[in-house]
């Protein structure tokens, strides 16, 4: 699982949280490298469970998740997750600089500022000129000085900093207005050529330009 070469296959996957009612029962799905896939469906249909299974945070009760033919299990999952970039609905922003938030978890002395600038460009962070110290500006606890759209751009830059092969947008635009949603959609469109994308959303507009959409 060191290099993602081909595809991820959900092979007859079944999963239940309580062993009474199944979230997935004999579920089949294949995601090919380089593909962009939208995941839609009502609340409680299993979208978040699908993401957790895909990331190896949950293990199927039966069936297998195969990455290039290798079973994703508790031993291989940590290596698999290093290939993933994750953009949540409500990104965690701490009271540090913009650069520290993008390079989340990297010691200050090891942050690659050139890489930070590049990630800001790819994530269309266009508010740097408003920050008095650029990427070294402290942006406040929970990003209090930023709009929802700006916090989402930081979350995207954070995902890109890890140079992931797969990026998961988990309801990343649900809290944004239509204008901000369109801006994030433009960013997603720009990432299609460089990574495999999984976009979980309840908005048809967000997934309208992806390769395919799966309804749960």
**What's the pTM value of the predicted model, to 2 decimals?**
0.86
Those residues with Cβ within 8 angstroms of residue 190's Cβ, 6 or more apart along the chain or in another chain: 122, 124
Query: Which residues does residue 200 pair with via DSSP β-bridges, in sequence order?
Result: 39, 170
- Reported as a pLDDT band with limits 50, 70 and 90, residue 187 is confident
State percent of the chain over pLDDT 90.
Answer: 53
Closest CA to 66 of 87, 52, 80: 80
Strand segments, DSSP code E, in the chain are 7-15, 24-32, 36-40, 62-67, 70-71, 84-87, 166-170, 196-200, 212-215
pLDDT in tens, 115-162: 999 999 888 887 878 888 889 988 877 667 777 778 888 888 999 999
Q: Which residue has the tokens 């092979």?
A: 11
């Amino acid at each position: 699982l060191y290099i993602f070469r081909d595809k991820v296959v959900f092979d007859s996957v079944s999963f239940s949280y309580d062993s009474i009612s199944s979230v997935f029962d004999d579920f089949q799905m294949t995601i090919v490298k380089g593909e962009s896939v939208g995941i839609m469906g009502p609340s409680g249909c299993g979208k978040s469970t699908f993401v957790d299974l895909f990331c190896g945070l949950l293990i199927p009760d039966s069936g297998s998740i195969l990455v290039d033919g290798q079973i994703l299990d508790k031993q291989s999952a940590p290596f698999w997750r290093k290939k993933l970039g994750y953009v949540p609905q409500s990104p965690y922003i701490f009271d540090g600089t913009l650069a520290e938030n993008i390079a989340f978890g990297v010691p200050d002395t090891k942050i690659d500022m050139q890489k930070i600038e590049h990630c800001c460009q790819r994530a269309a962070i266009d508010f740097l000129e408003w920050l008095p110290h650029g990427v070294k500006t402290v942006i406040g606890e929970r990003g209090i000085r930023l709009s929802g759209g700006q916090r989402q751009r930081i979350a995207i830059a954070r995902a890109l900093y890890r140079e992931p092969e797969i990026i998961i947008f988990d309801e990343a635009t649900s809290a944004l207005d239509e204008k901000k949603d369109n801006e994030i959609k433009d960013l997603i469109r720009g990432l299609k050529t460089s990574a495999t994308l999984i976009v979980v959303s309840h908005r048809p507009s967000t997934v309208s330009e992806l390769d395919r959409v799966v309804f749960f």
